[in-house]
Amino acid sequence: MIVPITKEDLIHFEDEIKEIYLAGKIKAPVHLCGGNEDQLIEVFKNVKQKDWVFSTHRSHYHALLKGISRDEIKREILEKRSMHINRKEYNFFTSAIVGGILPIALGTAMGAKLKGLEENVWAFVGDMAAEMGVFDECTKYAKRNNLPITFVVENNGLSVNTPTQKVWGEENSKGKIIKYGYERVYPHHGCGKWVTF
């Protein structure tokens, strides 16, 4: 059973990590959370112990809410693995590569469906990753195949430090797209002949 974590627990943990970082005791990148405690607590009310969580480089809150102990997470951070908190026993995995965790989460959801497991997959991304092609491909594939996966976009309005909308333009904008249909003359490869059976 996942032990409930409060907003205060989350904030206190990140404040402690911040102080350790400022004291120069963490010799690696650290990406702290803050301001999204209420939203994440709401999301994690639906995450069950056997569910899979695929997180990002900003994973501390997700790990705590999935039930990983604060001491274990703190040890990982002190050992320079803030962006790589992976725990098979919790079905919890992260990736520092923007959007890199999505195909893995998608494959896990496909595996759960094929095996008939009652496990759901939760894939977290930032608003920058949600503008990338891999996000579109994964969400479309998941929908088309009715996979047990939920994509959670954490929108802080920034792509690193640049406003996301300045980088990508209007929200949900795909730019100018021309689409047309045609019947293919040649096969996918080479110049073979079509045959009918």
Q: How many domains does the chain have?
A: 1
Q: What is the mean pLDDT of residues 13-25?
A: 93
What integer is the mean pLDDT of 18-28?
92
Q: Which helix (H) or strand (E) segment is 22 a member of?
A: helix 7-22
The answer to whether residue 173 is domain-embedded is no
In a domain? residue 55 = yes
Is residue 24 situated within a structural domain?
A: yes
User: What are the tens digits of pLDDT across the range 139-194?
Assistant: 999 999 999 999 999 888 877 777 877 877 765 555 555 556 656 666 655 666 66
- Residue 104 domain-assigned (yes or no): yes
Model pLDDT, residue 11:
95
Q: Is residue 193 part of a domain?
A: no
pTM, 2 dp: 0.85
Q: What is the pLDDT of residue 191?
A: 66
pLDDT, tens only, 43-78 = 999 999 999 999 999 999 999 999 999 999 999 999
Residue 128, domain extent = 7-168
**Spatial CA neighbour of 123 closest among 137, 4, 166:** 137
* Cβ-Cβ contacts under 8 Å for 154 (sequence gap 6 or more): 36, 39, 56, 58, 124, 125, 126, 127
Q: Is 160 helix (H, G, I), strand (E, B) or coil?
A: coil
Residue 41, in any domain of the structure: yes
Domain for residue 53, yes or no?
A: yes
DSSP symbol at 4: P
Whether residue 196 is contained in a domain is answered as no
Task: Determine the pLDDT at residue 173.
Answer: 53
Q: Provide the pLDDT confidence category of residue 126 given band limits of 50, 70 and 90.
A: confident
Residue 3 vs residue 91, higher pLDDT = 91
CATH code, 58: 3.40.50.970
pLDDT, one tens digit per residue, over 100-125 is: 999 999 999 999 999 999 999 999 99
Of 23 and 178, the structure prediction assigns the larger pLDDT to: 23
Q: Is the pLDDT of residue 1 over 90?
A: no
